[in-house]
Amino acid sequence: MNRPEISLEFFPPKSLEASFRLWDTVQTLAPLGPRFVSVTYGAGGTTRELTRDAVATIHKHSGLRTAAHLTCVDATREETLTIARDFAKAGVTDIVALRGDPPKGSNGFVPTEGGFQNSCELIEALKDEGNFTIRVGAYPDKHPEAASATADVEYLKRKFDAGADEALTQFFFEAETFFRFRDACEKAGIDKPIVPGILPIENWKGARRFAEACGTKIPAWVIDAFEAAERDGRQDLLATTICTELCSDLLDGGVEQLHFYTLNRPELTRDVCYALGVTPQTGLENVA
């Protein structure tokens, strides 16, 4: 098994306590040498300022390559591009470009008047700006709004044709799901990197709800295993094992990069990374 390169996803904090937790997560995981870290943009565009501040702070104080998520929700084209240009001015030229989820309780995505109609339009506009590395979302279990798995892959191809450099996937439970998707993408003529998104499961009930909402299929054996582990109070052990095995299978199948959804909780991601041989990078001067 080769040592993978990792990237890490955080969400912006909404309270002082959450800010400390985010910073603790950054400090715990930064020594693992991620190729980049990213900060999400709340559903419905609800965390615009918080995302901007979190990205700027992490970029400035951690020295890590930092990516900002950006969506098409609730903003005009000009407003969205102004945010992107402000990121660039602050030295942040990595964007995760998404159509985005609408605010909770609303019925599906409705483009804002004067706003981007879909993710491809956003990607094209960012590409025209000329200075961004653009990453996009991909869905090994199929996005719930896609007409079929084939249509979903074709849409991902459109996003690459529009200028995306790399895709980060939604989380999934079995390596086979990713390999099937990777094969379908290759068949559709996609030759850019597709990086598996990995969710270390800190909270089984929350992860199950999230999987159901975003169309991630949960195998029966995972449900049985977590229910037994919950009963016996050993969820963390199970979560670490399941996640490590998934990553190990992916690496055995030729995957070289993994994107971790940390949920601002560093422990499980750290433990899985250690098990995969991704350990703190120590300079030779510290060893001598």
Instruction: By CB under 6 A, tell whether 88 contacts ligand FAD.
Output: no
Instruction: By CB under 6 A, tell whether 69 contacts ligand FAD.
Output: yes
Instruction: By CB under 6 A, tell whether 184 contacts ligand FAD.
Output: no
When the beta carbons of 65 and 143 are compared against ligand FAD, the nearer one is 143
* 224: exposed, middle or buried (Cβ count in 10 Å: 0-12, 13-18, 19+): exposed
Instruction: By CB under 6 A, tell whether 137 contacts ligand FAD.
Output: yes
- Stretches 59-67, 140-148, 199-207, 245-253: which one binds ligand FAD (CB under 6 A)? 140-148
Give yes or no: 267 in active site. Answer: no
Instruction: By CB under 6 A, tell whether 177 contacts ligand FAD.
Output: no
When the beta carbons of 11 and 204 are compared against ligand FAD, the nearer one is 11
Least distance CB 207 / ligand FAD (angstroms): 15
Instruction: By CB under 6 A, tell whether 146 contacts ligand FAD.
Output: yes
Q: Which of 110, 151, 188, 223 binds ligand FAD (CB under 6 A)?
A: 151
Q: Which of 96, 199, 272, 278 binds ligand FAD (CB under 6 A)?
A: 96
From 5, 9, 79, 212, active-site residue: 9
Q: Which of 32, 55, 67, 98 binds ligand FAD (CB under 6 A)?
A: 98
Least distance CB 174 / ligand FAD (angstroms): 17
Which residues contact ligand FAD (rule: CB under 6 A)? 40-41, 43, 69, 71, 96, 98-101, 118-119, 137, 139, 143, 145-146, 151-152, 155, 168, 170, 197
Catalytic positions = 9
